Amino acid sequence: MRTKERLHFRRRLLEWYDVDRRDLPWRHAPDPYRTWVAEVMLQQTQVATVVPYYQRFVARYPDILTLARAPLEEILKSWENMGYYSRARNLHKAAGQLVSDFEGVIPNDYPSFKSLPGVGDYIAAAVMSIAFGHTIAVVDGNVKRVISRLFMVDAPVDHSSSAKTFKKRATELLDASRPGDFNQAMMELGATMCKPRNPLCHNCPVREHCLAQRNSRQTDFPVRRRKKKIPEYHIAVGVIYHGDRMLITRRKEDGLLGGLWEFPGGKVRDGEAPEDACKREIEEEVNLDVDVTGFITHVDHAYSHFKIGVDVFACRYRAGNVVLNGPIDHRWILVDQTGDYAFPAVNHKIFPHLKNNDKAK
């Protein structure tokens, strides 16, 4: 794009953003902390889902100190069902570091902020540009889609080798006089106009600058690598009843779904019957001898890089004391107490099947 065109592009995009941007709660009274929380949530979750989580989160943790002092488990509970829980763990850890090393405020300095847990290029660029006016281009999935169509970029959007290409294009476009608004406008354009399918080109404020639109090739961009088949795992879990209580265990704090609660269980081995896998996993994880008394339900769940199919069995406690091997904590709870703990989404698919379950009794 030539300089004159670029200036026109910036003006059109910002004029559109000033008038047509969505009314989102983090745009009301922006401050670095709120911008950070919103961007962390928005990194892997849709805006409509984020809004109520964000509102509850900043009401409960209105500042960095409150967040740093809150127990991790409570924060995971406020994050429940939004997924990608490492975001919540890192937010909490980073808040602690901000209190200990930065007097409880977000530093107005890209390298210092980026040194915090969970703060990568995207979060650092977004917070520094939106909250402090740094001239740093933000590149997220929406921005990549817009750029790939504007310039008909052949580089695949889902490969790390293309990162430099998109960053360079985004940096060239960036309006240095309003970097925060410009970055948000690019993301907004991707989210509301330049949609993955059926982009609304007839209403697009920058359509005259768009090569893909000019060549009627919007659907050819963005380019993606051919997807690898996502692996699928067969899991067996046991709801172990002991009287009117059932056993839940807490995952260790690092790794996938770290710090959340679940029913004991694990992968079914090749050739193994799921109920045998359930019994074996329970022995290995919590050292209990149980009878598998019935099949409760099957639930499927997809994560970003794999899928699971879960067979859920009712089990009756026979003998043994809980000795944890893997999980870091356990509780014997009533069915009605599941709301007191943070569970992964897949467990919420299981809970409705437990209410009237009498298979173990």
Using rule CB under 6 A, residue 146 touches ligand SF4: yes
Using rule CB under 6 A, residue 149 touches ligand SF4: yes
CB of 217 to ligand SF4, least distance (A): 9
Using rule CB under 6 A, residue 148 touches ligand SF4: no
* Binding residue (CB under 6 A) for ligand SF4 from 89, 178, 207, 330: 207
CB 267 within 8 A of CB 235: yes
CB of 209 to ligand SF4, least distance (A): 8
Of 118-126, 208-216, 238-246, 318-326, which segment contacts ligand SF4 by CB under 6 A? 208-216
- Those residues whose C-beta lies under 8 Å from the C-beta of residue 121, and which sit 6 or more positions away, are 114, 139
Half-sphere exposure of 128 (CA within 13 A, CB side): 21
Q: How far apart are CA 278 and CA 361, in angstroms?
A: 18
What are the distances in angstroms from CA 308 to CA 182, 214, 270, 300? 40, 43, 15, 6
- Those residues whose C-beta lies under 8 Å from the C-beta of residue 266, and which sit 6 or more positions away, are 235, 236, 237, 277, 281, 284, 285
Using rule CB under 6 A, residue 199 touches ligand SF4: yes
* Binding residue (CB under 6 A) for ligand SF4 from 95, 212, 314, 350: 212
Q: How far apart are CA 332 and CA 286, in angstroms?
A: 12
Q: How many CB atoms lie within 10 A of CB 243?
A: 9
**Residue 155 per-residue DSSP state:** S
Of 13-21, 212-220, 287-295, 324-332, which segment contacts ligand SF4 by CB under 6 A? 212-220
Q: How many residues bind ligand SF4 (CB under 6 A)?
A: 15
Using rule CB under 6 A, residue 150 touches ligand SF4: yes
- Binding mask 216-235 toward ligand SF4 (x if CB under 6 A, else -) reads --x-----------------
Tell me the one-letter amino acid at 321: N
Using rule CB under 6 A, residue 201 touches ligand SF4: yes
Using rule CB under 6 A, residue 210 touches ligand SF4: yes
272 assigned to active site: no
Q: Which of 15, 39, 253, 262 is catalytic?
A: 39
Q: Omega before 222 cis (within 30°)?
A: yes
Using rule CB under 6 A, residue 213 touches ligand SF4: yes
Using rule CB under 6 A, residue 193 touches ligand SF4: yes
Q: How far apart are CA 121 and CA 119, in angstroms?
A: 7
Using rule CB under 6 A, residue 142 touches ligand SF4: no
Of 19-27, 120-128, 193-201, 231-239, which segment contacts ligand SF4 by CB under 6 A? 193-201
Burial grade of 3 (CB within 10 A; 0-12, 13-18, 19 or more): exposed
Catalytic residues: 39
Residues at the contact surface with ligand SF4, assessed by CB under 6 A: 146, 149-150, 193-194, 199-201, 204, 206-207, 210, 212-213, 218
